[in-house]
Amino acid sequence: MALPPNVSERDFTRALEQFSNIVGSEWVFSSDEDVALYRDAYSIYWGEPEERVASGAVAPDTVEQVQAVVRAANEFRIPLYPISTGRNLAYGGSAPAYSGSVVLDLKRMNRVLEVNERNAYALVEPGVSYFDLYNHIEERNLNVWIDPPDPGWGSVIGNALDGGGGWTAYPYRDHFGAHCGMEVVLGDGDIVRTGMGALPNGSTWQENKWGYGPWVDGLFRQGNMGVVTKMGFWLMPKPEAYISGTAQVPDDEGAVGLMDTLNHLENLGIVNGSTQLGGGGAGGAGFGGGGWSLQVPIYGPENVIRAQLDYCRQKFEAIEGCTFTEQPLVHIPLSAEDRARVRLVNFGIPNLSTFAMLGRSPFQPNPAGGHIGFSPIVPRRGEDLVRFRNWYQANAAEVSGGENLGIIGPVFMTNWERSLVGLIMFPISKDPEHNSKIRDAFVRWVELAAAEGWAEYRAPTIYQDLIASTYNYNDNALTRMREKIKDAVDPNGIISAGRYGVWPRHLRDA
Amino acid sequence: MRSRGVVLISAFAIGIVVAILLFSSMASAQTAAAERGEAVYDHWCAPCHAAGPGHPGTQSLEVKYRGELQAVLTERDDLTSEFVRTMVREGILMMAPFRKTEVTDAELDDIAAYLTE
């Protein structure tokens, strides 16, 4: 039996007994076989001493059980690592950020507590996946959409808390941004409800994000101040139709107008769908050649979105050398024919098709198995787009040591509002030698990007300290402030030690 | 008073009836397990392993088997319970293992019953 750091076998045994009394012995896992199920299948340190592994797991079913487990963990100083569905593959999966933690597995808390069609919101527990919420809505024929990320088995809460996003309209595809109100068990077992949820007998918990006084929800995004046990989300009413057009410019000079026009159209709310950028010689959804291509989707009533697309055409065609082509309008709900040809996540339908990029294919008969990504935020300007691409191409060979490590980049993503993401993807396998080279390359890309003023918005657990160290303005003032808050609300440092670079006092001093 | 032969024949007949009932009960239990397993399979496995485009597990197995075996798991007739359990609990390539909070041991038995019936 593995032990949490600095915890005696006697105390760990007593803690596990208490956990069993709280949740039932069948929901406490401490055998090697059971704990192995919590390993990160995409770990870049798979099978090596540095791999982050759990010492056990406990799976409560209610918020009261979560409180009791947290209090018991405080008594024995057991580090806990909450997971929602544990399917955050490429970002650590169900393995802890701090080795030896007991995973607080919230998958059993999988209740859709409310879907309010009239005011278009949902209130869910952490174990609810996008599949679960979708099925709940469709079984009741409710007139709302969810916004799924690529893998539909992810947790609605977990994805939002980790900073994930989806593929339908803004603001819904920024999952944390679309949340409204949360319930949190703090590190000492106390329970809070944020925003309007703090108002006894109120009924606007999911209708006003801010409530009264300092807003604290952000502390729980990529945070470790508590265990989120309920969370509300705003939902989009099912739109009547979807239309898109594609603007293409012939060269890098055209990219400047392309991005400025996109920003203008999005900031006006004319374009609300998740745009797709390709070309420019980048490694992403390439259109070949030196030109750039941008697909702009719009959701809404047919006559309205046709007019919006006409306005887009006018604006894009004003760019020298830009052509604009329109794709056929898609009515919603989807016909069987449309369903077979569209990308389902753009239509609020969760699925797992994204894993095809990791599986075998005629072009990839022996895939590595896993991947991680480095996704620095880049200014949304054509000049910066070109600069990032040139920077990547200039450094790629040196970073990979002259080898073909299977690294893919840059894939430019425009689905966040106001900024770009320049994604670099790294294949992960179970081969330590391969993974070692990938580690060297990953760290080098992070260093090179930081020197240019670009940094990651989200990271696998193993690199959360590294990325946090790049956000070091004024002698790491932001990290120091977070540490002060951490020490105040979780004085024994029980919850998710080290998550996103925030460590409790006793581990900072160590 | 019945003869000893009649008693033996009666006992034999009862034995057959009991065996049939027992077998029938076992078969019924197996069917019930497979029915439960189908629901679990549809939730956890089908999104990757169903037939048709958009199912990366099936796509990956098509490339692996090259037509020598069925790529769609529900169309296989050579799967064993042990193999199914191993795949679910150990995973392979991009497929991460499934924890007991996702698929319990009892549900895993049901999936195995469904895929091996």
Q: Among the options A14, A343, A444, A457, which is catalytic?
A: A457
By C-alpha distance, the chain B residue nearest A431 is B93
The answer to whether the CB atoms of B63 and A370 lie below 8 A apart is no
The answer to whether the CB atoms of A353 and B98 lie below 8 A apart is no
The answer to whether the CB atoms of A358 and B48 lie below 8 A apart is no
The answer to whether the CB atoms of B93 and A358 lie below 8 A apart is yes
Domains of chain A plus CATH, in order, are: 9-105 (3.30.43.10), 112-237 (3.30.465.10), 241-350 (3.40.462.10), 370-460 (3.40.462.10), 473-509 (1.10.45.10)
Q: Which chain B residues are closer than 8 Å to A152 by Cβ?
A: 47
Catalytic residue list contains A458: yes
Distance from CA of B71 to the nearest CA of A (A): 12
Which carries the bigger pLDDT value, residue B31 or residue B110? B110
Q: What is the mean pLDDT of residues B7-28?
A: 69
Q: What is the interface size between A and B, counted as CB pairs within 8 Å?
A: 83
Residue found under tokens 């059980």: A65
Distance from CA of A339 to the nearest CA of B (A): 11
**Which pLDDT tens digit goes with each residue over B69-115?**
999 999 999 999 999 999 999 999 999 999 999 999 999 999 999 99
Identify the pLDDT of residue B13: 72
The answer to whether the CB atoms of B94 and A369 lie below 8 A apart is yes
Could you tell me where the beta strands, DSSP code E, fall in A84-211?
A: 102-105, 112-116, 121-124, 144-145, 179-186, 191-193
Helix axes B81-90, B105-116, angle to 10 degrees: 130
Identify the pLDDT of residue A287: 39
Q: Which chain A residues are closer than 8 Å to B63 by Cβ?
A: 359-362, 365
Element housing A29 (H / E): strand A28-29
Residues of chain A falling short of pLDDT 50: 284-288
Q: H helices within chain B, ranges in order?
A: 4-44, 46-49, 56-65, 81-90, 105-116
Task: Using alpha carbons only, give the angle A334, A340, A346 rounded to the nearest 5 degrees.
Answer: 60
Domains of chain B plus CATH, in order, are: 33-116 (1.10.760.10)
Identify the pLDDT of residue A364: 86
Q: Among the options A87, A458, A482, A499, which is catalytic?
A: A458
Catalytic residue list contains A471: no
The answer to whether the CB atoms of A352 and B63 lie below 8 A apart is no
Catalytic residue list contains A505: no
The answer to whether the CB atoms of B100 and A355 lie below 8 A apart is no
Identify the pLDDT of residue B3: 59
Residue found under tokens 């790629």: A396
Amino acid at A327: Q
Determine the length of chain A: 510
**Which pLDDT tens digit goes with each residue over B44-73?**
999 999 999 999 999 999 999 999 999 999
Question: Is A153 near chain B, with CB under 8 Å?
Answer: yes
Which carries the bigger pLDDT value, residue B24 or residue A48? A48
The answer to whether the CB atoms of A37 and B89 lie below 8 A apart is yes
Please provide the DSSP assignment of A157-176 as one string: HHHHHHT-B-SSSTTTTBTT
Which of A338, A355, A364 to mutate: most B Cβ within 10 Å? Answer: A355
Q: Which chain B residues are closer than 8 Å to A361 by Cβ?
A: 59-60, 63
Identify the band that residue B1 occupies on the pLDDT scale cut at 50, 70 and 90: very low
Distance from CA of A317 to the nearest CA of B (A): 35
Which of A29, A37, A43, A129 to mutate: most B Cβ within 10 Å? Answer: A37
Residues A311, A338 contacting (CB under 8 angstroms): no
Identify the band that residue B14 occupies on the pLDDT scale cut at 50, 70 and 90: confident
Helix axes A9-23, A63-76, angle to 10 degrees: 170
Could you tell me where the beta strands, DSSP code E, fall in A252-291?
A: 276-279
Could you tell me where the beta strands, DSSP code E, fall in A437-490?
A: 455-456
Q: Among the options A42, A91, A121, A170, which is catalytic?
A: A91
Among A108, A354, A361, select the one facing B101 at the smallest CB separation: A108
Interatomic CA distance for residues B35 and B24, integer angstroms:
16
Interatomic CA distance for residues A285 and A203, integer angstroms:
45
Q: Which chain B residues are closer than 8 Å to A369 by Cβ?
A: 93-94
The answer to whether the CB atoms of B93 and A37 lie below 8 A apart is no
Distance from CA of A103 to the nearest CA of B (A): 12
- Reported ipTM: the value is 0.94
Question: Is A93 near chain B, with CB under 8 Å?
Answer: yes
Q: Which chain B residues are closer than 8 Å to A153 by Cβ?
A: 47
CA distances for A34 relative to A26, A58, A99, A152, angstroms? 11, 11, 16, 25
Give the single-character DSSP code of B46: H
How many Cα atoms occupy the beta-carbon half-sphere of A262 within 13 Å? 35
Identify the pLDDT of residue B7: 63
The answer to whether the CB atoms of A105 and B101 lie below 8 A apart is yes
The answer to whether the CB atoms of B54 and A93 lie below 8 A apart is no
Question: Shortest CA distance to A153 belongs to which of B107, B99, B73, B51?
Answer: B99
Identify the pLDDT of residue A288: 47
Residues A442, A463 contacting (CB under 8 angstroms): yes
